[in-house]
Every structure is written in structure tokens, then in C-alpha cells.
Amino acid sequence: MELSLLESRPLADQPGPALVRAWLRGEPRAARLLGPTPELGALRTRADAIAVHRGEAACVVTGQQSHWLGGPAFVLLKIAMARAVAQALAGTAETAPTVWFWSHSDDADASEVDHLHVVNQHFDVQRLSLGLQPDRRPLYARPLPENAPAVFAATFEALLEGPQKAALAERLRPTLAAANLADHFAGWLGATHPAGALRVIEPRSERSACAAVVARFVRRYREVAARWSEVDRLCRDAAWDLPFDPWSATPFFVLDAEQRRAPVRVVDDGDLWSIDGQEISADELALKLENGLVTAIPGALLRVVLQSHLLPVSAYIGGPSELAYQAYALCLFELFDQIPPLLVPRLHATLVSAASLPQIQRFGVRDLLALSHEKLLAALPEPTEDPRVRALLDELAGTVRRVHAELAERAQGLDSSLARSLEQSGAQMADQVEKTRSRIAKVTQNRAGTGSRQARKLAHWIRPLEQPQERVLAAIQLLARLGPELPEALMSSCAPFEPAHRILSFEET
């Protein structure tokens, strides 16, 4: 399959964190925090430097929490860009650097990953959820609930029909046998991407590395805080509000006796720390980490450092908010004797059926990325009635009124209650005539491609819940409609060094 480019809008002009937009515009102050903007020469230079520093070939990394059934469409877009960057670095697919997908399986926010949104067969946006309750267990410790097969079946039943829906369900069905959410997600990644396209890594398999990174963070926290303060100062001077506050966020967690995540927070400028409310000195905490007496789980910022501690990461692919908080992570790399990766925005895309383009034109839509169901309904043209049909309905309505009026008048002299009954039945019949008129008008609009049904279908596909398609619609929605070749088509649609939101059209098969 192929995706055709309809329109490309620079990311610097799209909504998002001010720091990232400034960085994409090439502002030097932003580059001090986030590094060079995506450019092939800079990427190759950084990859070569990291390869020499590490003694192994550099790689490309992206990642996301371990989602039920793969999560939102942007997971596909992240992977597509990571593969495109790797291929661009090498020049050929055969020698491209390894692409690693970092599965945040040690995250514990089940409410973020236990559900999907799909456009169902009535063209409504439907939410289907496993209904997991929060309990601080990491996702790798959350078994798939008993209702997983039923939710799986209900999800595929609800999905808008697509030529690949049944085949996709069969490919994904084995993931229901996974021991937990993390293994289920890893199975989804393998089932939806070509063999060898990416490797999956999880922090639960790298406990000693986690401990080493977190222990150094604890021991050098005063230096960390000084660097974060400098980031704060630069952002404040530039009036950039970041969507992340390292001072209030939990830098890391440890597992308690019940294998649940206990938050660890700094106390007294780093000399003391608090584990779920219990204070401990920095030296004692670092020693426990280094000796394996506690199991550490890094937070968002230390996760970035850990990735480069384990892998020779030359490029990290992320969404706008991820890239913004990298400012607080990249400034720490020198403290960990590492070379920071370069940042590349993930693919931003809206996929539109080529068959729907004439409808979009008939609705007079000028900005697909601002589309809303309400706006489309307001733009519905007045229905054009067949003159003969209109005349027949008018004649029918007039006949109903005339006949019932005459009957009511005659009945009045016989029985007043009968007269009232005839008046009511006459009103009901007149109402049915008007309902018939309305139904005919709706059918006429729908057949012309400008009815409320088409408005709902267009709006809920392109801007579900009036949000970007990639952030709401499930990845399986796109795969069911476009087929297993979609990941390759998305990769081919990437332009790593021209960050933009790309509106892509596809042909129905």
C-alpha cells in the first residue's frame, strides 16, 4: 500500500510546548537545552562519536508504556520514525542501526494503558476498557484480567469494518495468552511489525544497571539540582512553560515487600531521602542500591539516562511533551560520563481515505486539523427536495388536516370525547407526514454525501473527540483498515529532517 502526501504543516507552527516550537525554529537558547535540531550530518557525527565512546555501533531508540492491544496510533508513528532515522543514518536498510523500543513496563498507571478508543460501525467513538484498578504494581506484574478475551472480542466486533480486521484479530489472538500486560504488549509489537524491524527492551531485565544509575543520581544530587536550576532559569527568561516539573515529580521508585512501587523523594537538598514517607540518608540509600538490597525503578528523567547507560543511543524519537522534558535529562549526561543522544520528533500524521476527499470538499472543509463534528453539522447544506415528492407530501398533509377537521366537526354533535380523539389522531398523522419528510431529506443528503451520517463518519475518523487522530484512535483501527503493510508505508512517509504534521491519504482496498 502507499500513502500520498496531501499537506505538510511545520511542527514549529503547531500547538505544543513553547520550548519545542522554539527549538524547531532554530532558536539558540532552545538548542542549549535540547541540542541541535534534526539534521543528517549532525546525527551521523553524533552516532560516530557515541560509537567511538562506547566501542559499539550506535542505535536509535523510542518507547512507550506497555499498552493493552498496542494503544493509540502514535505508537505506530514513533516506531515508523525511529526506523526511518536509522535507515537515513546508514543510507541503506541493510546497514541501518538497530532500532530499540523501550517498553515502560515498570510504569504503574494502569488507567492510562487499559483501554482503547475506536470508531465503531455506527461511526461513533467508543471506549473499550479492561477496567484495571490502580494498585501501584508495575505493568509487568499485572496479569491480563479474566475479561481480556471478552474485551478483545468486543473491540474487534465494534471496529469499523476493514478488509484486514479478521486477519488482524487472528494475528493478535495469541497475545491473550501472555502472562502480563508487558508481555502482551511485546507480543503486539512483534505481531504488527516486520521481523527484525525492532528489538524490545524493558528495565525489569536490567536491574543492576538501574541500581547503578539511580545510586549515582542520589550521590550527586546537589550537582543535579544545580543543573536543573539552570534549565529553570533559561526557560523562565525565555517565558517557556515546560509540561514537567522535576522538583515535584518522583525521580525514582523502589519496590516494597509486596512488589509495589514506593515513591522516593528528596529531603533536605539531597542529604536525606524519603521512601514512602520513611527517611533515609543519601549514603545509606546509595549503598542499598549498589548492593542490591532494594530494587530501583527510574522515573521519566532517569529513564532517559538509563537508556543511554545500557545502549549506545544516537537518536531518541519522542512526542512534543517528551522532547520538552528532555531538557532536564540531557543536562545530566555529563554527570554520568555519557554522550547525550540527539532528539527527533516522532511522525505526526493524520490519515484520510482518498474516497472521502470529495465529501470533504462538498462540506467546504478548509482545515482538516481543526475539524469538528459540531462544525460539520453546522455546515450541512439545506436538503434539495424532489419537487414532485414535496408536492405529494404537501398534498398528503393538507388531506390529513382537511379530513380530520371535517370528521371532528361532525363528531362534535355526537360525542365531544370522540371529537377530541379525532383531533389527536389527526395531529399524530400530520406529525408522521413531517417525520417522513425529514427522513426523505436525510436520505437525500446522505446519498449526496453531505448528510449527518457522513459528517459523523468524517469528524470521528479525522478528529475523534475533537483531538488529533493519532492521540485517540487505536493503532489497531488503522491496521484493521489499511492492513499489515501500514508500518512500512508509514516509515516511507517519514521526513526526519522536516518535522511536520503530515496529512496522508490512502486508497481503500
pLDDT one-digit tens code per residue, 301-328: 999 999 999 999 999 999 999 999 999 9
Length of the chain: 509
Q: What is the pLDDT of residue 103?
A: 96
**8 A C-beta contact, residue 476 and residue 159:** yes
Q: Given this model, what pLDDT does residue 382 score?
A: 54
pTM of the model: 0.86
Q: At what angle do helices 475-482 and 486-493 cross, to 10 degrees?
A: 100
Domain for residue 1, yes or no? no
Do 91 and 149 sit in the same domain of this protein? Answer: yes
Q: Which residues pair with 279 in a beta bridge?
A: 274
- Do residues 299 and 412 both lie within one domain? no
**Half-sphere exposure of residue 126, counting CA atoms within 13 Å on the CB side?**
18
State whether 98 and 211 are in the same domain: yes
Among 474, 498, 348, which Cα is nearest to 14's?
348
pLDDT per position as a tens digit, 410-437: 767 666 677 677 677 777 787 887 777 6
Same domain, 415 and 288: no
In-domain check, residue 215: yes
The pLDDT tens digits of the residues spanning 345-363 come to: 999 999 999 998 988 887 7
| 161 and 293 together in one domain | yes
- Tens digit of each residue's pLDDT (9 = 90 or more) over 198-221: 999 998 889 999 999 999 999 999
Which of 294, 316, 346 is the last residue in one of the domains? 346
Location of C-alpha cell 479474566: 146
Tell me what the mean pLDDT of segment 13-20 comes to.
Answer: 92
**Whole domain around residue 417: which residue ranges?**
390-442
Q: Which one is predicted more confidently, 407 or 507?
A: 507
Higher-scoring residue by pLDDT: 455, 281: 281
pLDDT of residue 394: 73
- How many Å apart are CA 252 and CA 305, to the nearest integer? 12
Indicate if 396 and 309 belong to the same structural domain. no
Q: What is the mean pLDDT of residues 188-192?
A: 97
Output the pLDDT for position 443.
61
The residue with greater pLDDT, 452 or 481, is 481
pLDDT at position 456: 84
Rounded to an integer, the average pLDDT of 93-116 is 89
Q: What percent of the chain has pLDDT over 90?
A: 70
Shared domain for 216 and 162, answered yes or no, is: yes
pLDDT confidence band for 35 (50 / 70 / 90) = very high
Secondary element (H or E) of residue 458: helix 452-462
Per mean pLDDT, which range of 155-164, 228-237, 390-399 is the poorest?
390-399
Residue 504 lies in a domain: no
Region 270-274 average pLDDT: 93
Q: What per-residue confidence (pLDDT) applies to 380?
A: 57
What is the arithmetic mean of pLDDT over 82-104?
86
* Residue 295 DSSP label: -
Residue 462 lies in a domain: no
Q: Give me the pLDDT at residue 296, please.
A: 95
User: Is 144 a member of any domain?
Assistant: yes
How many domains does the chain fold into? Answer: 2
Per-residue pLDDT band at 381 (split at 50, 70, 90): low
* Res 447 pLDDT > 60: no
pLDDT of residue 405: 73
Q: Output the pLDDT for position 309.
A: 94
Same domain for 420 and 274, yes or no, is no
Which pLDDT band, with edges at 50, 70 and 90, does 92 fall under? low
Average pLDDT estimate for 93-103 = 83
Residue with cell 517565558: 239
Q: Name the average pLDDT for the chain.
A: 89
23 lies in some domain: yes
Does 408 fall in a domain?
Answer: yes
Query: Nearest 5°: CA angle at 48, between 47 and 49?
Result: 90
Q: What percent of the chain has pLDDT over 70?
A: 92
Are 163 and 54 in the same domain? Answer: yes
- Same domain as 277, residue 187: yes
Answer whether 424's CB lies under 8 Å from 400's CB: no
- Compute the radius of gyration of the chain from its Cα atoms: 29
Residue 272 and residue 397 in one domain: no
Q: Is residue 180 part of a domain?
A: yes
What does the block give as the cell for 449?
454525501
Domain boundary among 346, 370, 401: 346
Q: Are residues 146 and 275 in the same domain?
A: yes
